[in-house]
Amino acid sequence: MEHYSMNLTLQIWRQKNSLDKGDFETYEIKDISSEMSFLEMIDVLNEKLINEGKDAIAFDHDCREGICGACSMHINGRPHGPWHATTVCQLHMRAFKNGETIVVEPWRSKAFPVIKDLVVDRSSFDRIIQAGGYISVNTGNAVDANAIPINKDNADDSFAAASCIGCGACVAACKNSSAMLFLAAKVSHLALLPQGKPERKARALNMVAQMDKEGFGSCTFTGACEAVCPKEISITNISRLNKEYFGAGLSIDKQ
């Protein structure tokens, strides 16, 4: 694709801290290369702001290669911007045209309070993982990977679910602010493998209980999460989570 430069108008959410009311600021930015990533474009804007003695725009980022789940911007009404199955850090400026206005907002959910500008507190996800998103094994020498035979379909489904990077786009997109796609990915990833089986009942019950406690909404299967997930986590994982949850609720041993 041919390289081109563009001038853009950005409307970006600015908020000093969690208590500040916050508002949109408008910025004009010139000579942005179509080959830049979206975050690099923000870097350019931030350098300009710093040179002018202003406060840089705070935003989350880490790997910048689509694997860590840190980046989180709601761009023109869509989490992670216009490209399908792409994190913001992998979004390139060629997705935009010269002269365009781009609106950038933080994830909006009571369970993800804004810390500053575009940075939200996603520790609610960490607490959901702490409630059961792990397996308990004694450490030691690594076990031979092929010691336990695993059905290929289960291995594939588990692997697909394991690709969830915990970014929270599913919550940001859902009209109910439900975290069910995230939870379903984590539960499915482990429940499909023999290593995850021993704790599967307590895992499903405890993780769902923690999700409710954190103030996420309930799933009504609108499908918005699946449509925006950068890792294309399938919504059928939520059905699997429901099955796990009902099964566990009916049969768990008293603790």
Partner 1 sequence: MALTGLFLISFLVIHAGLNATIWANDGGEMFNFSAHFMGSMIVIRIMEIVLFIFFIIHIIQGYVLESKNLSRRGKGYKINLANRGSKWYSRTMGLLGTLLLLFLVMHLYHFWTPSRLGGIGDIQPLNEVDYDGKGYHNLFEEMVRIFQNPLVVILYVVGCISLAYHLMHGFQSTFRTLGVHNKRYLSGLIIVGYAFAIIISAVFAMMPISMYLGWVK
Q: Rank residues 60 and 157 by Cβ distance to partner 1 and give the closer one.
A: 157
Nearer residue to ligand FES within complex by CB, 170 or 208 = 170
Task: Answer yes or no whether residue 61 interacts with ligand FES by CB under 6 A.
Answer: yes
Report the largest interatomic distance among the alpha carbons of the chain, rounded to a whole angstrom.
65
Identify the CA nearest to 94 among candidates 108, 82, 110, 78.
Answer: 82
Decide: is 70 part of the binding site for ligand FES (CB under 6 A).
yes
Among 208, 218, 212, 215, CA closest to 175:
218
* Interaction residues for ligand SF4, span 185-214 (CB under 6 A): 185
From ligand SF4, partner 1, ligand FES, none, which one binds at residue 243 (CB under 5 to 8 Å depending on kind)?
Answer: partner 1
Give yes or no for residue 165 binding ligand SF4 (CB under 6 A).
yes
Reported as type and span, the H/E element at residue 12 is: strand 5-14
Question: Does the footprint of partner 1 cover residue 238 (CB under 8 A)?
Answer: yes
> Half-sphere exposure of 196 toward its Cβ, with a 13 Å CA cutoff?
20
- Return d(Cα 214, Cα 172) in angstroms, integer: 15
Nearest to 38 by CA among 239, 180, 78: 78
Side-chain half-sphere exposure of 145, counting CA atoms within 13 A: 1
Report whether 172 contacts 74 (CB < 8 A).
Answer: yes
Which is closer to ligand FES, CB of 66 or CB of 106?
A: 66
Residues 219, 180 contacting (CB under 8 angstroms):
yes
- Binder to ligand SF4 among 170, 174, 208, 235 (CB under 6 A)? 170
Task: Say which entry of ligand SF4, partner 1, ligand FES, none residue 62 contacts (CB below 5 to 8 A, set by partner kind).
Answer: ligand FES
Q: Does 36 sit near ligand FES (CB under 6 A)? A: no
Q: Is 64 in the site for ligand FES (CB under 6 A)?
A: yes
Contact flags string 187-216 toward ligand FES, x per CB under 6 A: ------------------------------
Pick the piece of the chain touching ligand FES (CB under 6 A) from 29-37, 83-91, 146-154, 177-185. Answer: 83-91
Q: Kind and range of the H or E element at 201?
A: helix 200-213
248 binds, among ligand FES, ligand SF4, partner 1, none (CB under 5 to 8 A by kind): none
CB 8 within 8 A of CB 100: yes
**Beta pairing partners, 13:** 24
CB 185 within 8 A of CB 179: no
The entry of ligand SF4, ligand FES, partner 1, none that residue 185 binds, CB within 5 to 8 Å by partner kind: ligand SF4
Residues that bind ligand SF4 (CB under 6 A): 164-170, 181-182, 185, 229-231, 233
List residues binding ligand FES (CB under 6 A). Answer: 61-64, 66-71, 87-89, 165
